[in-house]
Structure 1
Amino acid sequence: MMNYTSGNGNIKNWVLSEEQFHPDQLGKCESIMYLGNGYLGLRSATEEPYLQEKRNLFVNGTFNQGEENEVTELPNLADMTRFDMKIDGERFSLEFGKTKEYVRQLNLKTAELTRKIQWISPKGKEIWFQFRRFVSLHNLHLIGMKLEVESVSHPIQLTIESGINGQMTNSGSQHFLEGERRVHQKCALEMIQTTKESKINIILNAVHTLRINGEEIRNDPEMNMSRRKVWLTYNVALQPSDQFVFEKLATVYTSVDKEFSRYDKGMYDVEYQLDDSIKYIRKQASKELQELHNKGYEMLFNQHAEKWETIWNIYKLEVDSTESFDQLALRFSLYHLIAMTPAHDEKMGIGAKALSGEGYRGHSFWDTEIFILPFFTYSNQAIAKSLLTYRYLGLESAKRKAKANGYEGAMYPWEAAKPSDGEVTPEWGDIDIVTGKPTKIWPGLIEQHITADIAFAIYQYTKVTGDKDFLIAYGYEIIFETATFWASRLEWSSENGQYYINDVIGPDEYKEHVNNNAYTNYMAYFNLKLAIRFVDQLKQDDKKRFLQMDKKLDLNNHYLNWLEKAEKLYLPEPRAKDHVIPQDDTYLSLKELDLSKYKNQDSVRGIYKDYNPEQINHFQVTKQADTLLIFYLLEQTFLADDERLSQQVKSANFHFYEPRTLHDSSLSLSTHVILACDLGKVDLAYEMFTKLCETDLGPSMDTSNEGIHAASIGGMWTAAVFGFGGVRLYQEELRINPQLPTQWKQLKFVFHWRGHPLHITITKSTLRVEASTMENIRFRVFEKAFTFRESIEIPLEKGSLLSY
């Protein structure tokens, strides 16, 4: 049972609590309470083992192909969090005895996981346990664990087995060769794992400290070793009221860590090679472990907590709501955005499940560019640039994919791992309930809009940050190569004298093999037009750079092709009778289906229990925001004045498609929240915002078993800031149109606009903008332009300005 109101005082609305343990409902807390720093991701399984648990430890960027017939994935590293404990020879488990008190908590403020348990053993002995754990934001390689035990009623004999267990798999797939194992000085453990295909070395170390009543004890443990495993067994006698403390500090290093690798600048692709031998890495890891051991858990945790305090001071997002859940949910969003993002290394992306579970194998999708990246674009330019550089490092593999499919330019993979890997989407998926066979996974072949999504993200980033250096170094080349792909992808219809994009999947993955998916066509059009504008811009502003790129990419010839293709690309028009844009060529002629059963379902994808993909393809049902994304994204571009994107057309399409959308993807609701705010439907937006936050934080205990929903977590921030806060890149300018829901008295947040941090305070009656700069800042509020220095306060009424 989850409780989100247990925090009090200075941790009010900072704490996620599980207040009742159930061995068959482990996945939710393992996922939503996972600990990470962008390098390490540690799923929050309990220390003592249970049958339904899922123990995962990932290092970002360590992809490996387990078998020839499998796709590459982040391998599940050796586990170091399991403690096998016995009380007087009997295994400690909450499935036995009686639990008087239980609470597991994640404190978002300090990023520490704790469990407190008051337990009576089967023999009637009452024992108090406290478990603590963190993954350091101060030292990316460090995991800290601490166990405190007190026997309340009787003397006990406590046995603890703790080690490094390399017997872990990815749902049965073993990624590692049998590695070296060793015990140092009867307290420190070492294991080396090497991935079977990618040959990445993983160096794991752990050290233990034991104290009774504050005094360190030199317990002589039993040393044990078996296949892929090394561990120590400690036996401790405790009298009633004795305070026993067991600390375990662990570190993880790999041979692809940035400090041990280099970039081969002679290649367009990326190759990371060891500068030093594995012996050097082991030596460095061993030396650091000793230094960490000398500091101990508390000092290391304090350093970690101070780093998080700095984070919370930078990324402010505060809401005064009648529903306290709203504030906690937004902090949950920020916590996970930091925990999931590899800010330390541009050769790594963000997985769709972050680093919280095996779902989607750690692969990156369009989730990053459309739903996660905007937070960093508006909050931390350096990290946003790093995430986009990851896409540049994958440009050569995108070009290889285009060539392999008979196209030119760069065709980005639907699922990405290492930048050089190319397409890594699996071929087969869930069961087809009609045939009983696995369903074919088509997105890796025909869900192609991701190529334009990346182009859009580059455009958004450069307009918001003003980072022209990125364009010169990376951005122009991506835009030109992706436009070249679209120009080669279009198919000519001599009958209609237009170019079509046939046989695709749009964002609505319930519609496969459709022609002219509106979102795909409009985004391809944007990509082509952007390339044309950038060539014109280069010719005018940087003739030398243009000539260099023309020599490399043959820009002059491609430019003429882009012009011709963009002019004749078919863009589905709003219907005259109701202004609805057809989602694809056949959608509006499909059978309608009563969706009430699925709209009110407790879990997603319920429709698959009644129909297979081929059947769903013939109904007017949409998995997630599709056509509606056109308005949200392209209104931020130079296409904002296009009559097909007018407020009237937006409203018509929202009212048509939302009732037909099941929101069976966690990517869906944030877009609907933002558009509902744009249309003045703030009550509906708030209702959807609550559902969005409940994607991971809702009462259902099984929706996050495979990991958190990274895109919806990014979407929570965008829903608050872009939706209720009204912040938007609009017609290449900054616009702020606030729309607070009834439940919110005040919203405060910070974002960056072209290098300037802007502090926003919104109430029902005022918008206040503060900037720590003496430069003029220009923006619009409900179509009225304002320019200010330092600060400005603007009176508001619902959905508009008061006279100013």
Structure 2
Amino acid sequence: MMNYDTGSEEWKNWIISERSFNKKYLGKCESIMVLGNGYMGVRSATEEAYIGEKRNTFVAGTFNRFDQNEVTELPNAADLIQLDIEVNGEVLDLTKGTIHNYNRQLNLRTGELCRSFTWVLTSGEEYDFRFKRFISLVDLHLIGQKIEIIPRNCNSSIKITSGINGQLTNSGVQHFSEGDQRLYENKYLQLVQTTTESKIDFLMNMVHNFKINEQIFTPESMIHMDRRKIYFHFDTSVNKGQTLMLEKISTIQTSRDRNLGNISLRELKNISYAHLKKQSSKGYETLFIESVKAWETRVWKQYGMEIESEHEFDQLAIRFAHYHLTIMTPAHDNRMNIGAKGLSGEGYKGHTFWDTEIFILPFWIYSAPKTARSLLEYRFFSLSGAHKKANENGYKGAMYPWESAWLDDGEVTPVWGAADIVTGEQTKIWSGFIEQHITADVAYAVRQYFQVTNDNEFMNEFGFELLFDTAKFWCSRLEWSIKDRQYHINDVVGPDEYKEHVNNNAFTNYMAYWTMKNALAYAHLLKKQKQSIFQKLNAKLNLTKEMLKWEERLELIYLPKPTANNLVIPQDDTYLQKKEIDLTKYKEQDEVGTIFNDYNLEQVNEIQVSKQADIMALFYLLEDYFSSEVKAANWNYYEPKTLHDSSLSLSIHSVLASDLGDSNLAYRLFKKASTIDLGSNMKSSDHGIHAASLGGIWQCVVNGFGGIRVLEGQLRIEPKLPENWSKLVFPIYWHGDRLKVVITKESVIIENITKENKRIEFLNHENLYILIDKITIQHNHSEK
């Protein structure tokens, strides 16, 4: 049903298309064709309604808790998209009649969603329908829609019902109190919603403008107000061959919008109404062109990547990733972060995980450092929630929630999940209690950002404190064992969530060690070179005392080592002793999680099987801690036991396959990661796109095939192109400079575009190179 080679010439590898309609698979296009701009995301449900659809409108950062028995989530705001259309008494419904020339497509380059088809009724009447919509990248509050209806062989009476529908819920949960409804100038609609617990006001505004054959006209209309709903009934007649065109411009603003400050609801109503009136006067086409220009300058010229491959889908896949990374990221407000489904669906309730720091943030660090900084500042401003969690669990410092929402919400992971296949009872979700590596992941991201950007201002104001506060937590989390006289970390869940309540998860222990080691090094650096900053943080965090603890405990932390016989590092204390089973059918699964058709989580916990990269993730993040022989041995042991049941897994394995020199396997894993959302599985994206996997796709290309890495502050560029790629071009930022990297089979060319620094040092196969303006390195490693 999905088509990815529709575009030609200037639109080649820019178009995602659905070529036939099937009401069983509504969620696929609703998710992968979602529109947004970081401020809001609107799921791409069709204009006409169908059973099974999911209409979602989310505004970043507007979390609300329904009651004390549920966790906070992004509320599903009023729908602005739906239209009920009736032609000569027949309601538009594509499950009836006959459809010809159906095409729904998202243009990644312009951010416009288009749908067109000819609908033939049983009476023989034929109608052409054309729908367009976009969400502006210039005006974060604006949605544009354009609808055209053409009776092909008959005159027609056309009725349209359109307005603002606040009757929607989050799968049954209503997060809004009913607010005011208003009609201005007999034309402009306004509806107010207020979240029940967080008390955030939403202002939804809308206007309709009509034309017949490009001539402005006003149809007969009747305004209606229902509970949580305000809408128009429009009624007009259209002759055969005439084009009825409706432009529908809508806006959303909230009391949480930072640019509005602390104003009254009355002022907000007036501001939002005036804003709609001003913007809608420009018309759909002008507003759309403004947005297209922003996409070109802010996105494609900024992040654009060129891939010459035998498989053109590869180019489209990376553009798909860029598109979604742009529309899911609230770059406008450092009080907000990225949800695991972006703004594309109710999955994971809009919460932020380690997905941001480990999978998505690297894209922003190398592509738009200011946005990366904003996402890290969110972690600084949410320290109160991390302190709260640490205190509640008897620890010190910053213990970051596994799932985060608004700044001071603290831990928001749900406690109960799906049914246990054996007991029939709900499964307890332990992640919010004992999946604690997130705290080290945040620290790792801070240091990665600093190494790539050299942003000393960020570190002085935010970064050092984050590193010290997270190290303080880990120091308090360590458990002393009299038996072996070492510190252990017991009763955790590592990245492999199929292993709960384990002791000494290797990823967790090494990352805790890494956090404390780096915090100690930076503390000594500050004490020596930036005494005023050290004194400020010392007064706040008692650094002098903490540093003594870090020094004392660092070398006593138990770090699992490779076994003598096969170099395998135990994933945890008991993994290697668990039973082994034939995993073939689960490795060959078309859908994730099929192992739970046969076992419950408690049983899976006792099998040598992994959900996702665990030891492999450790090799990726701390690659200089382990030899190539150890990495290869552990790959051979753990990858056959890894089901990749998490969308986070494939990209890490792809990068590591590149590191291990298997470019064919690296490419196959990249391709598999690219088809998590874009593949043939029409149900995989029902709950929203897989945000982390999209960041992972970028890492497959840039960090894997492009060979971009940073080791102890040193940039390394060692490309490993797949066999079926002849060229790869991408930009990265390094210490404030924008570099252009061009990789072919013969050479790698690096050019400094901005030239802020006089010289940039980088490594290529252990040779040190100095980049002044432009440098070419042949793949025999001799400089040209």
Aligned residue for 1:657, secondary structure, equals helix
Matches within 5 A, 1:185-200: 185-200=185-200
> 1:499 aligned to 2:482?
no
Q: CA deviation at 1:284?
A: 1.1
Deviates more, 1:407-416 or 1:651-660: 651-660
Aligned residue in 2 for 1:785: 768
Matched-pair contact (CA < 8 Å) for 1:188–1:205:
yes
Matches within 5 A, 1:65-214: 65-214=65-214
Matched-pair contact (CA < 8 Å) for 2:777–2:783:
no
Matched-pair contact (CA < 8 Å) for 2:61–2:406:
yes
Q: CA deviation at 1:65?
A: 0.3
Q: CA deviation at 1:629?
A: 1.1
Given candidates 477, 482, 501, the residue that maps to 2:465 is 477
Q: CA deviation at 1:453?
A: 0.2
Aligned residue in 2 for 1:359: 347
Q: Distance in 2 between matches of 1:448 and 1:8?
A: 48
Q: CA deviation at 1:651?
A: 1.3
Question: Which 5+ residue runs of structure 1 have no aligned equivalent?
Answer: 262-274
Aligned residue for 1:180, secondary structure, equals strand
Amino acid at match of 1:742: E
Given candidates 278, 285, 309, the residue that maps to 1:291 is 278
Given candidates 525, 530, 538, the residue that maps to 1:550 is 538
Aligned residue in 2 for 1:270: none
Aligned residue in 2 for 1:342: 330
Aligned residue in 2 for 1:11: 11
Matches within 5 A, 1:434-449: 434-449=422-437
Matched-pair contact (CA < 8 Å) for 2:563–2:569:
yes
Aligned residue for 1:794, secondary structure, equals strand
Aligned residue in 2 for 1:256: 256
Q: Distance in 1 between matches of 2:179 and 2:459?
A: 44
Q: Distance in 2 between matches of 1:13 and 1:381?
A: 27
Aligned residue for 1:499, secondary structure, equals strand
> 1:530 aligned to 2:518?
yes
Aligned residue in 2 for 1:457: 445
Q: Distance in 1 between matches of 2:226 and 2:245?
A: 27
Q: Distance in 2 between matches of 1:431 and 1:90?
A: 43
Aligned residue in 2 for 1:733: 714
Q: Distance in 2 between matches of 1:731 and 1:295?
A: 52
Aligned residue in 1 for 2:55: 55
Q: Distance in 2 between matches of 1:542 and 1:802?
A: 41
Matches within 5 A, 1:672-711: 672-711=653-692
Q: Distance in 2 between matches of 1:301 and 1:544?
A: 51
Q: Distance in 2 between matches of 1:193 and 1:50?
A: 25
Matched-pair contact (CA < 8 Å) for 1:779–1:786:
yes
Amino acid at match of 1:676: A
Question: Which 5+ residue runs of structure 2 have no aligned equivalent?
Answer: none
> 1:374 aligned to 2:362?
yes
Aligned residue for 2:378, secondary structure, equals helix
Matched-pair contact (CA < 8 Å) for 2:336–2:375:
yes
Given candidates 516, 519, 536, the residue that maps to 2:507 is 519
Amino acid at match of 1:392: F
Q: Distance in 2 between matches of 1:565 and 1:172?
A: 50
Deviates more, 1:728-737 or 1:188-197: 728-737
Q: Distance in 1 between matches of 2:650 and 2:530?
A: 42
Aligned residue in 2 for 1:279: 266
Matched-pair contact (CA < 8 Å) for 1:186–1:221:
no
Q: Distance in 2 between matches of 1:41 and 1:757?
A: 30
Q: Distance in 2 between matches of 1:616 and 1:89?
A: 57
Aligned residue in 2 for 1:753: 734
Q: Distance in 2 between matches of 1:520 and 1:753?
A: 29
Aligned residue for 2:28, secondary structure, equals helix
Matched-pair contact (CA < 8 Å) for 1:101–1:119:
no
Matches within 5 A, 1:14-33: 14-33=14-33
Given candidates 644, 654, 659, the residue that maps to 1:663 is 644
Cα deviation code 1:769-800 (max 9, x no counterpart): 00021611110111111112110111015xxx
Matched-pair contact (CA < 8 Å) for 1:186–1:220:
no
Aligned residue for 1:246, secondary structure, equals strand
Matched-pair contact (CA < 8 Å) for 2:163–2:189:
yes
Matches within 5 A, 1:324-335: 324-335=312-323
> 1:776 aligned to 2:759?
yes
Q: Distance in 2 between matches of 1:468 and 1:185?
A: 53
Query: What TM-score, normalized to structure 1?
Result: 0.96
Given candidates 719, 732, 737, the residue that maps to 2:700 is 719
Aligned residue in 2 for 1:271: none
Q: CA deviation at 1:802?
A: 5.5
Q: Distance in 2 between matches of 1:488 and 1:199?
A: 37
Amino acid at match of 1:535: A
Aligned residue for 2:499, secondary structure, equals coil
Matched-pair contact (CA < 8 Å) for 1:342–1:349:
yes
Q: Distance in 2 between matches of 1:549 and 1:700?
A: 51
Aligned residue for 1:25, secondary structure, equals helix
Aligned residue for 1:495, secondary structure, equals coil
Matched-pair contact (CA < 8 Å) for 1:14–1:109:
yes
Q: CA deviation at 1:185?
A: 2.7
Q: Distance in 1 between matches of 2:729 and 2:285?
A: 33
Deviates more, 1:216-225 or 1:187-196: 216-225
Aligned residue in 1 for 2:476: 488
Q: CA deviation at 1:188?
A: 1.5
Deviates more, 1:295-304 or 1:765-774: 765-774
Aligned residue in 2 for 1:264: none
Aligned residue in 2 for 1:269: none
Q: CA deviation at 1:187?
A: 2.2
Matched-pair contact (CA < 8 Å) for 1:219–1:234:
yes
Matched-pair contact (CA < 8 Å) for 1:431–1:437:
yes
> 1:241 aligned to 2:229?
no
Q: Distance in 1 between matches of 2:387 and 2:332?
A: 26
Q: CA deviation at 1:547?
A: 1.5
Aligned residue for 2:192, secondary structure, equals strand
Q: Distance in 1 between matches of 2:29 and 2:699?
A: 24
Q: CA deviation at 1:396?
A: 1.4
Q: Distance in 2 between matches of 1:647 and 1:536?
A: 32
Query: What TM-score, normalized to structure 2?
Result: 0.99
Matched-pair contact (CA < 8 Å) for 2:220–2:236:
no
Cα deviation code 1:340-398 (max 9, x no counterpart): 00010000010000000000000000000000000011111110000000000111110
Aligned residue for 1:178, secondary structure, equals strand
Deviates more, 1:723-732 or 1:337-346: 723-732
Q: CA deviation at 1:316?
A: 1.9
Matched-pair identity in %: 51
Q: CA deviation at 1:609?
A: 1.0
Q: CA deviation at 1:803?
A: 7.8
Q: Distance in 1 between matches of 2:176 and 2:340?
A: 24
Aligned residue for 1:179, secondary structure, equals strand
Q: Distance in 1 between matches of 2:310 and 2:376?
A: 38
Amino acid at match of 1:120: V
Amino acid at match of 1:440: K
Q: CA deviation at 1:740?
A: 0.6
Amino acid at match of 1:727: I
Matched-pair contact (CA < 8 Å) for 1:64–1:75:
yes
Matches within 5 A, 1:541-620: 541-620=529-608
Amino acid at match of 1:784: N
Matched-pair contact (CA < 8 Å) for 2:776–2:783:
no
For the aligned residue pairs, the C-alpha RMSD in angstroms reads 0.9
Given candidates 317, 322, 327, the residue that maps to 2:310 is 322
Aligned residue for 2:608, secondary structure, equals coil
Aligned residue for 1:221, secondary structure, equals strand
Q: CA deviation at 1:144?
A: 0.4
Q: CA deviation at 1:238?
A: 1.0
